[in-house]
Amino acid sequence: MTGYPAYLTMEIYRINYRMKKHDALDVQPFHKHNIRDEHNNHKKGRHHMMKDIMKDTDINNHNSNNHNINDHNIRNKEELEQLGERAVSSEDIFDGFILHVKKDTVALPNGNTATREIIRHIGAVCVVPVTKDNKVIMERQFRYPIDSVITEIPAGKLDSRDEDRLSAIKRELREETGYIADDWLNMGVYYPAPAYSDEKIDMYLARGLHKGERELDEDEFLNIYEIPIEALVSDIMSGRITDGKTQVAVLKAAKILGVL
Q: Which residue is catalytic, options 38, 199, 218, 226?
A: 218
Q: How far apart are CA 77 and CA 63, in angstroms?
A: 17
Provide DSSP, 183-241.
Answer: EEEEEEEE-S-TTTB---EEEEEEEEEEE------TT---EEEEEEHHHHHHHHHHTS-
Q: Which residues contact 9 (CB under 8 A, 6 or more apart)?
A: 1, 2
Q: How far apart are CA 198 and CA 95, in angstroms?
A: 15
218 is catalytic: yes
End-to-end CA distance of the chain: 19
Cβ atoms of residues 84 and 71 within 8 Å: no
**Buried b vs exposed e over 118-147: b needs ≥16 C-beta within 10 Å?**
bbebbbbbbbbbbbeeebbbbbeeeeeeee
Q: State the catalytic residues.
A: 218
